[in-house]
Amino acid sequence: MYNQSELKKIVDKAIINLSYNTEAEKLIDPVRYILSMGGKRLRPVISLMSLNLYCDIIDGGIMPATGLEVFHNFTLVHDDIMDQAPVRRNFPTVHTRWGINQAVLSGDVMAFIANECFLQSPSGCLAKVFSVFNKAAIEVCVGQQLDIDYEKQAVITLDEYLRMIELKTAVLIAASAKIGSIIGGADIKDSDLIYEFGRNLGLAFQIQDDLLDIYGDARVFGKVQGGDIIANKKTFLLVKAFEIASAEQEKKLHELFTAGSTDPESKVKGVLDIYDQLNIRNLTENLANEHINIAFSQLEKVSVSRERKEEIMQITLSLIGRDK
């Protein structure tokens, strides 16, 4: 069985070895740039772990796994345009460095480089794998649309928020896991269970990510502390706070999120005070844990030995910091 660090190395190598049409280097420079920024390679690693549940030889899954990472980075390039984000993982975003037009076009070509990776799936499961990926890709776009739409609304419901992160984040992790299992030879029942495992893992992961924006170490995380609050982003913490706030706390929250009413630092501090009063940190951790538990209950039903599930269970726990 491969562990997380071995799989990450395999994925990193496959990304470095990607071959490009280099007739226009300006098109490809931003592609190499965003793909070399690193990160956990969560989606391809999960995909290969899922394959590895069934099969010791994982070669057939490496290119589709790489496609998942290329697609994910494509969404980052375009999302950063839409969010006007200046920095990602401590580096200037693609559009900041090369301009919006270049970010649109280099992003576009990444979508087709991802396709090229999926076309290298084992021929027997190409149609299945591609179809699982593409359904997720469309859903990710829908999720990004909801994210944009919700930014214009002062308040959204918890259900709206959870559906948005499901589409924007969880379905791609679910698809990654499912694709690995299909290539590994899982039957439909197993690959559906693994999809549900991945979906819940993805939800937990995003909820945890929301938490880290404000309670994480900004340097390690590569973002501004409380950046989501400053950018008026909907997070689980904020949506939950609005849901359970007293009339007075709600009024205060609305004030804090009214443009120009406070400087960023006081805004983050003001919101944090209300989070503390409402015990938001615990509530958030609880929900992330709940989804991890559901993920495990799905994984439990998967028809491979408990021993083979060790690595995927470990990465799952590490994602919400329960391995420390």
The residues of the shown chain that bind its own copies, judged by CB under 8 A, are 21, 23-24, 26-27, 78, 81-82, 100-102, 104-105, 107-109, 111-113, 115-116, 119, 123, 126-127, 130-131, 134, 137-139, 141-142, 144-146, 148-149, 167
Spatial contact of 88 and 76, defined as CB atoms under 8 Å apart: yes
The b-or-e profile of 19-37 (16+ CB within 10 A means b, else e) is eeeeeeeebbebbebbbee
Q: Classify the phi-psi angles of 41: left when phi > 0, otherwise alpha if psi is within -120 to 50, otherwise beta.
A: left
Q: Name the minimum Å distance from CB 282 to its own copies.
A: 31
Round to whole Å and give the CA distance between 113 and 111. 6
Q: How far apart are CA 167 and CA 203, in angstroms?
A: 10
Q: Which CB sits closer to its own copies, 12 or 108?
A: 108
Q: Which is nearer to its own copies, 74 or 275 (CB)?
A: 74
Shortest Å distance, C-beta 143 to its own copies = 8
List the one residue out of 287, 93, 260, 262 whose CA is nearest residue 200: 287
Q: Which is nearer to its own copies, 28 or 271 (CB)?
A: 28
> What are the distances in angstroms from CA 185 to CA 59, 61, 177?
13, 11, 13
Cα–Cα separations (whole angstroms), residue 39 to 12, 69, 201, 293: 10, 10, 17, 25
When the beta carbons of 25 and 217 are compared against its own copies, the nearer one is 25
CB of 31: closest distance to its own copies in angstroms? 10
Between 113 and 173, name the residue whose CB sits nearer to its own copies. 113
Quote the least distance from Cβ 70 to its own copies, whole Å.
Answer: 12
Cβ at position 126, least distance to its own copies in Å:
6
